[in-house]
Amino acid sequence: MLDGEEEKEVALEVSIVICTLDRATQLANAIRSILGQDCDPRRYEIVVVDNCSRDRTPEVVKEFQIHAANVRYVYEGRLGLSTARNRGTAESRAPIVAFFDDDGTADPGWLEALLEVFREDAGAGAAGGLIEVGWPAEKPEWMPMDFQGYYGACDYGNQRRHLTFPQYPYGANMMIRRQILEAIGGFNDELGAKGTNIMQGDELDVFQRLFAMNTRVVYEPRAVVHHWVPTERVSRKWLLRRAYKHGLSNTRLSAVRTGATRLTWVALLLRASLNSAWAAISAAGGAIVMRNIAVVTSRIAYMIYWAGVARGARDGVVRGTTMTTQ
Q: What is the pLDDT of residue 106?
A: 98
Q: What is the pLDDT of residue 49?
A: 98
> Domain boundary at 182, 208, 233, which?
233
Q: What is the pLDDT of residue 3?
A: 46
Q: What is the pLDDT of residue 195?
A: 86
* Residue 3 counted as domain residue: no
Q: What letters, b where the CB count within 10 A reaches 16 and e where it falls short, cover 181-206?
A: beebebbbbbbbbbeeebbbbbbbbb
Q: Looking at the predicted structure, is the pLDDT value of residue 282 above 70? A: yes
Do 219 and 251 have their domain in common? no
Q: State percent of the chain over pLDDT 70.
A: 92
Q: What is the pLDDT of residue 198?
A: 81
Say if CB 241 and CB 198 are below 8 A apart.
yes
Do 110 and 255 have their domain in common? no
Nearest of 55, 90, 103, 92 to residue 189 by alpha carbon: 90
Do 145 and 241 have their domain in common? no
Q: What is the pLDDT of residue 325?
A: 52
pLDDT average, residue stretch 192-215: 90
Q: Looking at the predicted structure, is the pLDDT value of residue 216 above 80? A: yes
* Residue 325 counted as domain residue: no
Confidence of residue 8 (pLDDT cuts 50, 70, 90): confident
> Among 88-102, 184-198, 240-254, which range has the highest average pLDDT?
88-102
pLDDT average, residue stretch 75-93: 97
What range does the domain containing 269 cover? 236-319
Residue 150 vs residue 265, higher pLDDT = 150
Q: Looking at the predicted structure, is the pLDDT value of residue 158 above 70? A: yes
pLDDT average, residue stretch 85-95: 98
Q: Looking at the predicted structure, is the pLDDT value of residue 147 above 90? A: yes
* Residue 303 counted as domain residue: yes
> Domain boundary at 233, 253, 285, which?
233
Q: Looking at the predicted structure, is the pLDDT value of residue 283 above 80? A: no
Nearest of 323, 304, 301 to residue 145 by alpha carbon: 301
pLDDT average, residue stretch 296-301: 91
* Residue 28 counted as domain residue: yes
How big is the chain by its Cα radius of gyration, in Å?
21
Q: Which residues contact 156 (CB under 8 A, 6 or more apart)?
A: 163, 167, 219, 221
Confidence of residue 288 (pLDDT cuts 50, 70, 90): low
Do 240 and 225 have their domain in common? no
DSSP-assigned states of every residue in 62-103: HHHHTT-TTEEEEE--S--HHHHHHHHHHH--SSEEEEEETT
> Domain boundary at 186, 212, 233, which?
233
CATH (domain of 44): 3.90.550.10
* Residue 18 counted as domain residue: yes
Do 240 and 138 have their domain in common? no
Q: Looking at the predicted structure, is the pLDDT value of residue 140 above 70? A: yes
Do 241 and 229 have their domain in common? no
Do 272 and 151 have their domain in common? no
Say if CB 15 and CB 96 are below 8 A apart.
yes
What is the value of pTM for the model shown? 0.89
Residue 321 vs residue 107, higher pLDDT = 107
Q: What is the pLDDT of residue 253?
A: 77
Q: What residues pair up with 73 in beta bridges, in sequence order?
A: 48
pLDDT tens profile 95-123: 999 999 999 999 999 999 999 999 999 99
pLDDT average, residue stretch 71-100: 97
Q: What is the pLDDT of residue 287?
A: 62
Whole-number average pLDDT of the chain: 90
pLDDT average, residue stretch 230-249: 94
Confidence of residue 128 (pLDDT cuts 50, 70, 90): very high
* Residue 294 counted as domain residue: yes
Q: What is the pLDDT of residue 1?
A: 41
pLDDT tens profile 20-57: 999 999 999 999 999 999 999 999 999 999 999 999 99
